[in-house]
A = this chain, B = another copy of it.
Amino acid sequence: MQEKPPSLQMFGIRTPLIEPGDNIAKIIIDSLEEQGMQFQEDDVLIIAESPLATAEGRLVDLEKIEPCEKAMELAEEYKLDAREMELILQECDEIFGGVPGAALTITKGTLAPNAGIDGSNAPEGHVVLLPENAQESAGRIRREIMEHCKCKIGVIVGDSRTQPLRLGCVGIALGTSGIVPVEDARGTLDLFGKEMVITRKAMADNLVSAAQLLMGEAGESVPAVLVRGAPVQVVDEDIDMPLFSRDECMYYSNIRKA
């Protein structure tokens, strides 16, 4: 008999407003229990980076930021708040250029407009920086939940990105723990028995995009999503997001440094 076709379920987790210093793992466990659910073996939890960063104390009061001269120049160029531009310069690895409202940077190894700094879902006059180390956060939360729930799960810290020449945000994984973030389909066979040559599956990014269907971007208070049954490899270790050589990237190799 043929194997049953794959299926999965996703559940939004509604929480109270997350504040600096909160224990986000505990809030998620409690909120899930209030929904009458608990974690099961091989579940994958996706957490939005902004509430996580808020809990981790990455909320910044713009009034306390003094922009340097370079920040003021670039703020003018990209039509950004000079204090936010100062934070972008402090946070990013590199800055390439941009458009009005967005400076294009590489931050913590990933392309990110404005170094991932965001004023939405932050109190007036404040912005939220990216989590200091999303993979470490994912690992910490995973271990805390596993200790409480006695089952093996995966955790992903997710963010939003636009794709080139596309309107609207999709998901991207900033850090993962307990899953294989990119699966290598090279060497597997296609429908005609030929070997697949270059295909890799961005499981973690796709899981975040799926989660964003339930999360929303605005004040919906669904900062986390539980995915059950996804054909992803849940493993008891932290696997780094694999790096992509810049020369191999067809977009990057055509991006002009500003």
Which A residues are closer than 8 A to B by beta carbons? Answer: 2, 5-14, 17, 35, 96-99, 101-102, 104, 106, 110-111, 113, 119-124, 160-172, 181-183, 185, 188-194, 196-203, 205-207, 209-210, 212-214, 216-219, 221-222, 230-232, 241-244, 246-256, 258
Contact = CB atoms under 8 A, between A and B. Distances in A.
Contacts of A217: 185, 196, 199, 201
A9 B12 CA distance: 12
B231 A201 contact: no
A224 to B, nearest CB: 10
B166 A205 contact: yes
Contacts of A189: 218-219
Nearest to A103: B250
10 contacts: A8-B214, A120-B196, A121-B191, A124-B194, A160-B199, A165-B249, A165-B251, A169-B200, A190-B219, A191-B219
B255 A169 contact: no
B214 A170 contact: no
A202 B169 contact: yes
Contact of A199 (B198, B218, B253): B218
Contact of A203 (B96, B110, B213, B253): B213
Contact of A255 (B106, B202, B246, B256): B256
A172 B166 contact: yes
B213 A167 contact: no
Given A97-B254, A98-B254, 5 more contacts: A8-B9, A17-B191, A169-B202, A170-B202, A191-B218
Contact of A213 (B196, B206, B255): B206
